[in-house]
Amino acid sequence: MIDYGWFRLIVRLVGVLVMIYFAPMLLMSIASLAINLPSYLSGAAGPEFSYIIFSILGAIIPPAAATAVGIYFTFNARGFIRWCMRDLANYCGACGYDIRTLTTNRCPECNNTITPPTSITPSSR
């Protein structure tokens, strides 16, 4: 059993907050571009094609990326959580299995060789 439920809760909370903050920004940027696009394409507002490019690059991609991260943190984040936990001494570095009660140096979940941290290893003199 992997004991990182508290960390998953925090990651989900961060994901929800990121989505609440960036999703409206993304929708407003898309709406603004959609409203203004016809006048820019027709040339009524001047030959401002670069404005369209900068609108997409500057106003849509960053909030879209942040919203995607928020969605990932809220609904999945398994890979991210595993990545964060990989160096913790109590977990298998490959699969995140709780190795505190193991008596062997092999993970029963993924057969990864486990090397206990030297600082807390019982003395091997």
- Residues at the site binding Zn ion, with contacts judged by CB under 5 A: 92, 94-95, 97, 107, 109-110, 112
Pure H helices in 43-117: 49-54, 61-75, 78-85
CB closer to Zn ion, 30 vs 114:
114
- Smallest separation, CB 92 to Zn ion (Å): 3
Nearer to Zn ion, 71 or 94 (CB): 94
Residue 41 or 110 with smaller CB distance to Zn ion: 110
User: Please, what is the minimum distance in Å from the beta carbon of residue 121 to Zn ion?
Assistant: 19
Measured between alpha carbons, how far is residue 53 from residues 39, 48, 96, 119 in Å?
Answer: 14, 9, 43, 54
Q: Cα 103 to the chain's mean position, in Å?
A: 34
State the Cα–Cα distance between residues 92 and 86, nearest whole angstrom: 7
In whole angstroms, the minimum distance from the beta carbon of 111 to Zn ion comes to 7
Structure tokens given for 41 = 């394409």
Q: Is the CB of 43 or the CB of 106 nearer to Zn ion?
A: 106
* Cα(111)–Cα(93) distance, integer angstroms: 11
Q: How far apart are CA 21 and CA 95, in angstroms?
A: 32
CB of 100 to Zn ion, least distance (A): 13
